[in-house]
Chains A and B, each alone.
Chain A
């Protein structure tokens, strides 16, 4: 049971470098999300997608871009990394609601620990 898989698990970047974080889910979920988790601030939504080919901004989207070219994958890009983007990044996915009720939980990956020097 793979569920939600994030790649890589750890990464160290220098300021100004770019990189892409990959999230893959094998549950055929429609909705996918990228969060960042910082000490004392909880998880904050960066971007999300309600289906293949769609993306939308969350609470803290600046400095990040996303793409959802395939239903099972959701990519998070940092074009020019900054020290303020040092964080733990989590991807999550969720299936559509059943019976019109908001009764489906989000499923999370194990996170990517990113340090920017």
Chain B
């Protein structure tokens, strides 16, 4: 059974800092990995999707990497801003019908 772990569970950084969020998964037979953002009381917003054949994806200040063989992904956020404060979730797609297995998330707070 696929298990997804995110470390740390919570993180507080001052504005402007670069930071890395970690995601690990136990079964390397994945089709893709997604990073989501969740604001309090809201749904999930897809940030980046990395296919299993890719090593990284970039969108603005966000960069996600994937090392499928070691079961790891990182989300790098450059020059953090207070508006980046949210919970970040990673999820892996394994099996048919694009079923996702989620981690429990990292709650990020960016302070002024």
Q: Which residues does chain A contribute within 8 Å of B43, judged by CB atoms?
A: 4, 90, 108-111
Binary CB contact string for chain A from 11 to 50 against chain B (1 if under 8 A, 0 otherwise)? 0000000000000000000010101000011111100101
- The majority secondary structure among interface residues of chain B is strand
Q: Which residues does chain A contribute within 8 Å of B36, judged by CB atoms?
A: 108
How many Å lie between the Cα of A108 and that of B39 in the bound state?
12
- The majority secondary structure among interface residues of chain A is strand
B112 interface hit (Cβ, 8 Å): no
Count class of interface residues, chain B: 20 to 34
| Contact between A106 and B42, CB atoms less than 8 A apart | no
In the complex, which residue of chain A has the Cβ closest to the Cβ of B31? Answer: A102
Instruction: Return B88 CB to nearest CB of chain A, in Å.
Output: 12
B61 interface hit (Cβ, 8 Å): no
Instruction: Return A45 CB to nearest CB of chain B, in Å.
Output: 6
**Number of residues on chain A facing chain B (CB within 8 A):** 28
Q: Which residues does chain A contribute within 8 Å of B46, judged by CB atoms?
A: 105-108
| Contact between B104 and A50, CB atoms less than 8 A apart | no
B45 interface hit (Cβ, 8 Å): yes
How many Å lie between the Cα of A83 and that of B84 in the bound state?
34
| Contact between B34 and A106, CB atoms less than 8 A apart | yes
B103 interface hit (Cβ, 8 Å): yes
B44 interface hit (Cβ, 8 Å): yes
Q: Which residues does chain B contribute within 8 Å of A4, judged by CB atoms?
A: 43
Instruction: Return A49 CB to nearest CB of chain B, in Å.
Output: 9
| Contact between A42 and B98, CB atoms less than 8 A apart | no
Chain B residues engaging chain A, CB cutoff 8 angstroms: 4, 31-32, 34, 36, 41-46, 49, 51-52, 89, 91, 93, 97-100, 102-105
